[in-house]
């Protein structure tokens, strides 16, 4: 019996006016289109002897002996019978008492009711956004939200997804008012509204005005049907008391429905946790497909997450020794005496900020510094990002040109990331290199 919906390949090819095209040809045409726009992505391996002004290893934990030693101790202390591989999905054989204790540890550290481990921040955002908004609900999202949030929203059953201008409380207010005016169920609280933001944006490095957003939601949604979902990927370890994030720095953790903390950036590890209430956690365990249908992280990853959180919780650094352990059970008592690595990175941020603003060029299209104070991410806005990045790389400083489609057209830049392991001498080297490039560009344009 034939299925009338299936068109045999030979028939479709012969009836088409186009000659048969192989899939590979179509793929290479897509690549050529990217190439033509200078937007083709490539994998690169960095040479060893370079200075890292690019990775998200903001606290330099990836190369920290304190981190490595503690991690190795955790691995070595595991009994021989303890499996290193998780062996399956969290819902089948991939769960462990160790994973559950780690979730409690991280939840307590972040002053959250519960935490749920995902294999990555990407999976966490996809899991949350694809499953939690209910049919008919509304999602309002910042225009610069990460690709993983877009992926989750694309899969979600929400009735509407509405973008608002980047980090604009007025923009959020307009977008929310429009929904309220359009649909009485938003106003009367029958439909839920999700506000999806990051606390620090990965490309621009700016901090979201979360308190202003809360004000907007309080003003316009008196039935408390507004739910914040905040991605803290870039603030984890770097901002807030002991690196607990922007939300805890602001003291608004009780107002967040979901917080996502990822471990692949400042925590030198892998995976992510969703901080939420117990009901929400149970729901995700049942409905988040990016959690259910994947092999859970194995013990070495869990141990590395544990290592990073112990360092944060203890206020430890490699350079100044151990500061008093401030934990009793899991009741963390935050004080102002911690944050050595955070302090170091903040020192370097101020230094680089000053040095970059001292650079001289006659052509502002060539160079403008875009930087949010206290952020380890700097945007060097230039009309020639690839050339500037290549020049820095040739001189041993790894920075990256960030091009569309990763960022919107016209927002090209060179992204510079600072780490607590960078030195003032390295910063000086980078700044001098940028100045040489600017001088060369000026000379070239003067000779035209």
Judged by the rule CB under 6 A, the positions of this chain that interact with ligand PLP are 120-122, 125, 146, 148, 198, 202, 231, 233, 262, 264, 272
> Considering the complex, what minimum distance in angstroms separates the CB of residue 163 from ligand PLP?
16
- Rounded CA gap, 175 and 206, in Å? 21
- Give the position of tokens 């068109």: 7
Complex with ligand PLP: residue 94 or 152, whichever CB lies closer: 152
Name which of 120 and 179 has its Cβ closer to ligand PLP: 120
Query: Which residues lie closer than 8 Å to 107 by C-beta, 6 or more apart?
Result: 113, 114, 115, 273, 275
Q: Smaller CB distance to ligand PLP: residue 121 or 127?
A: 121
Residue 196 CB, nearest distance to ligand PLP (Å)? 11
Which letter, b or e, does each residue of 236-261 get, where b requires 16 or more Cβ atoms within 10 Å of its Cβ?
bbbbbbbbbbbbbbbebbebbbbbbb
Q: Which C-beta is closer to ligand PLP: that of 53 or that of 122?
A: 122
Nearer of residues 274 and 434 to ligand PLP, judged by Cβ: 274
Q: For residues 429 and 233, what is the distance between their CA atoms, to the nearest angstrom?
A: 29
What minimum distance in Å lies between the beta carbon of 328 and ligand PLP?
Answer: 31
CB of 406 to ligand PLP, least distance (A): 10
By the 10 Å C-beta count (0-12 exposed, 13-18 middle, 19+ buried), 200 is classed as: buried
**Beta carbon of residue 134, minimum distance to ligand PLP (angstroms, whole number):** 23
CA 340 to chain centroid, in Å, comes to 23
* Nearest CA-CA partner of 238 in 353, 340, 378, 372: 340
Beta bridge partners of 378: 416
Distance CA 358, CA 73 (A): 46
> Toward ligand PLP, which CB reaches closer, 142 or 310?
142
Return the CA Rg of the chain.
24
* Residue 272 Cβ vs ligand PLP, minimum distance, rounded to whole Å: 5
Nearest to 271 by CA among 120, 406, 166, 420: 120
Q: What is the DSSP string of 367-393?
A: -EEE--TT-SEEEEE-S-HHHHHHHHH
Between 201 and 332, whose beta carbon lies closer to ligand PLP? 201
Give the HSE-up count for residue 179: Cα atoms under 13 Å, Cβ half-sphere: 32
Q: Where are the alpha helices (DSSP H) in 86-145?
A: 97-109, 121-131
**Cβ 56 to ligand PLP, closest distance in Å?**
8
CB of 176 to ligand PLP, least distance (A): 23
Tell me whether residue 152 or residue 421 sits nearer to ligand PLP (CB atom): 152
d(CA 341, CA 420): 6
Q: Which residue is nearest to ligand PLP (CB)?
A: 121
CB closer to ligand PLP out of 123 and 318: 123
Q: Minimum CB separation from ligand PLP for residue 121, in Å?
A: 2
């Amino acid at each position: 019996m034939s299925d009338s919906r299936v068109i045999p390949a030979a028939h479709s090819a012969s009836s088409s006016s186009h000659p048969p095209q192989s899939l590979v040809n179509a793929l290479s045409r897509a690549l050529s289109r990217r190439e033509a726009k200078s937007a083709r992505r490539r994998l690169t391996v960095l040479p060893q002897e370079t200075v890292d002004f690019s990775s998200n290893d903001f606290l330099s934990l990836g190369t920290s002996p304190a981190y490595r030693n503690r991690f190795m101790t955790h691995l070595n202390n595991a009994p021989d019978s303890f499996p290193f591989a998780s062996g399956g999905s969290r819902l089948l054989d991939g769960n462990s008492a160790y994973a559950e204790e780690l979730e409690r540890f991280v939840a307590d550290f972040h002053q959250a009711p519960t935490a749920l481990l995902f294999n990555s921040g990407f999976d966490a955002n996809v899991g949350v956004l694809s499953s939690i908004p209910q049919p008919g609900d509304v999602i309002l999202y910042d225009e610069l939200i990460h690709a993983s949030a877009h992926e989750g929203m694309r899969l979600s059953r929400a009735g509407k997804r509405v973008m608002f201008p980047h980090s604009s409380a007025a923009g959020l207010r307009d977008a929310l008012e429009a929904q309220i005016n359009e649909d009485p169920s938003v106003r009367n609280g029958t439909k839920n509204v999700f506000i999806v933001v990051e606390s620090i944006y990965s490309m621009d490095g700016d901090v979201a005005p979360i308190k202003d957003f809360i004000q907007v939601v309080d003003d316009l949604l008196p039935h408390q049907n507004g739910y914040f979902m905040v991605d803290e990927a870039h603030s984890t370890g770097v901002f807030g008391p002991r690196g607990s994030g922007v939300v805890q720095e602001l003291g608004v953790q009780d107002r967040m429905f979901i917080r996502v903390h990822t471990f692949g950036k400042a925590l030198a590890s892998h995976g992510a946790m969703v901080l939420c209430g117990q009901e929400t956690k149970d729901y995700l365990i049942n409905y988040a497909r990016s959690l259910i249908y994947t092999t859970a992280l194995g013990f070495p990853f869990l141990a590395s997450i544990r290592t990073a959180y112990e360092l944060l919780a203890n206020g430890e650094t490699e350079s100044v020794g151990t500061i008093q352990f401030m934990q009793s059970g899991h009741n963390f008592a935050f004080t102002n005496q911690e944050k050595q690595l955070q302090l170091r990175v903040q020192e370097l941020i101020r230094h680089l900020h000053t040095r970059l603003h001292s650079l001289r060029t006659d052509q502002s299209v060539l160079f403008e510094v875009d930087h949010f104070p206290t952020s380890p991410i700097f945007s060097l806005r230039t009309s020639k990002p690839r050339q500037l990045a290549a020049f820095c790389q040739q001189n041993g400083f790894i920075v990256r040109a960030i091009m569309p489609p990763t960022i919107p057209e016209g927002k090209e830049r060179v992204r510079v990331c600072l780490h607590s392991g960078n030195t003032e001498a390295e910063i000086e080297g980078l700044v001098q290199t940028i100045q040489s490039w600017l001088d060369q560009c000026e000379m070239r344009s003067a000779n035209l």
